[in-house]
């Protein structure tokens, strides 16, 4: 049976970092999956936003639509012509329950084809509190280049030690 | 110091380096955008709650009755 889901690379932080970038991503797969277990040190916040940028390009080529729910309220918003894709409220931050991490999956289909790159970000924050968020974000990078690097940032803090980042490649055969 | 981690998938090399000045500037702008969105969410939720309470008030419900409906 063919191996269709392969770990390309991973990193578990041993010290804090503002961003984690997977570079020189091989073009031998059809889709990419990024899995993150993340917590940031953003002060005064229980939740944080994961931010994605491709091939080191910022500018205005990104857009997104997101839905979030906190357990008591739902919200949605869109962003266009922005410099990153914001996956809102899927990371734990400084005031969330200690030693908890948000869990996130990012799916990027057809990352090498010459067309704009849609993706989705789905995740849930973990918090032993009445308010705990989950969110789904549809994102688009308006660029036809193959994705060769993925920068995983956050809403202004640092990913804390123990946050983990896994990049998988998926083949269709 | 604020660092970035770069993992080269071809070689397995992991580099830890300080953010550049441009990256720091962009990071601040991105963080502000994220905070602005969060504030907008909170305002929308507060506005919705205020409207809900206003409807109950028009119906003549007491605070206890409103609480019972929550």
- The stretch A67-80 carries a mean pLDDT of 86
Nearest to B27 among A9, A18, A20 (CB): A18
pLDDT of A90 strictly over 70: yes
pLDDT of residue B11: 96
Provide the ipTM: 0.91
- Please return the burial class of A85, using the count of CB atoms within 10 Å of its CB with bins 0-12, 13-18 and 19+: buried
pLDDT of B70 strictly over 80: no
Q: The CATH number of the domain where A53 resides is what?
A: 2.60.120
- The stretch A79-101 carries a mean pLDDT of 92
- A57 and B CB contact within 8 Å: no
The pair phi, psi for residue B44, each rounded to 5°, is -60, -40
- Please tell me the total count of domains within chain A: 1
Distance CA A69, CA A57 (A): 30
pLDDT of residue A1: 62
pLDDT of residue A72: 82
Q: Which CA distances in Å does A43 have to A90, A112, A125, A155?
A: 16, 38, 16, 11
Asked if A160 and A16 touch (Cβ cutoff 8 Å), the reply is yes
Edge-to-edge order in the sheet of strand A85-92: A85-92, A47-54, A150-154, A19-23, B3-8, B14-18
Band of the pLDDT at A92, cuts 50, 70, 90? very high
**DSSP 8-state symbol, A112:** T
pLDDT digits (tens, 9 = 90+) for A119-130: 999 999 998 888
In a mutational test of the B interface, the residue from A79, A84, A152, A166 whose CB has the highest number of chain B CBs within 10 Å is A84
CB atoms within 10 A of CB B10: 12
Pairs across A and B, CB distance < 8 A: 91
DSSP codes, A38-101: EBB--TT-SEEEEEEEETT--TT-EEEEEEEE-SS-EEEEEEEEESSEEEEEEEE-TTSSTT--
Greatest pairwise CA separation for chain A in angstroms? 49
pLDDT of residue B38: 75
Please report residues of B whose CB lies closer than 8 A to that of A11: 5, 7, 14
pLDDT digits (tens, 9 = 90+) for A13-61: 999 999 999 999 999 999 999 999 999 999 998 999 999 999 999 889 9
Mean pLDDT of chain B: 86
pLDDT of residue A31: 97
More confident residue, A16 or B27: A16
pLDDT of residue B2: 87
Distance CA B31, CA B38 (A): 11
**Could you identify the residue written with the tokens 């953003």?**
A42
Name which of B14, B38, B32 is nearest A47 in CA terms.
B38
Q: Does the pTM exceed 0.90?
A: no
- The stretch B18-36 carries a mean pLDDT of 85
pLDDT digits (tens, 9 = 90+) for B40-67: 877 887 888 889 889 988 899 888 888 8
pLDDT digits (tens, 9 = 90+) for A131-152: 889 999 999 999 999 999 999 9
pLDDT of residue B32: 83
- A71 and B CB contact within 8 Å: no
Query: Cβ A17–B4 below 8 Å, yes or no?
Result: yes
pLDDT of B1 strictly over 80: no
Query: Cβ A11–B2 below 8 Å, yes or no?
Result: no
Query: Cβ B7–A83 below 8 Å, yes or no?
Result: no
């Amino acid at each position: 049976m063919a191996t269709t889901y392969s770990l390309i690379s991973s990193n578990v932080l041993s010290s804090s970092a503002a961003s984690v970038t997977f570079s020189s991503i091989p073009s031998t797969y059809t889709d990419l999956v990024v899995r993150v277990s993340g917590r940031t040190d953003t002060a005064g916040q229980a939740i944080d936003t994961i931010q994605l940028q491709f091939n080191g390009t910022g500018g205005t080529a990104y857009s997104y639509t997101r839905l979030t729910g906190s357990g008591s309220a739902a919200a949605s918003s869109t962003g266009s012509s922005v410099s990153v894709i914001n996956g809102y409220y899927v990371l734990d931050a400084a005031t969330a329950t200690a030693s908890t991490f948000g869990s996130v999956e990012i799916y990027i289909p057809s990352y090498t084809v010459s067309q704009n790159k849609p993706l989705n970000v789905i995740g849930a924050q973990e918090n032993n509190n009445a308010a705990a968020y989950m969110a789904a974000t549809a994102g688009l990078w308006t660029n036809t280049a193959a994705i060769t690097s993925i920068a995983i940032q956050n809403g202004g803090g640092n990913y804390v030690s123990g946050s983990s980042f896994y990049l998988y490649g998926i083949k269709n055969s | 110091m604020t660092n970035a981690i770069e993992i080269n998938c071809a070689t397995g090399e992991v580099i830890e380096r300080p953010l550049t000045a441009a990256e720091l500037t962009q990071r601040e702008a991105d963080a502000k955008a994220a905070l602005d969105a969060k504030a907008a969410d909170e305002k929308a939720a507060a506005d919705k709650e205020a409207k809900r309470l206003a409807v109950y008030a028009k119906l003549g419900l007491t605070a206890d009755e409103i609480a019972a409906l929550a």
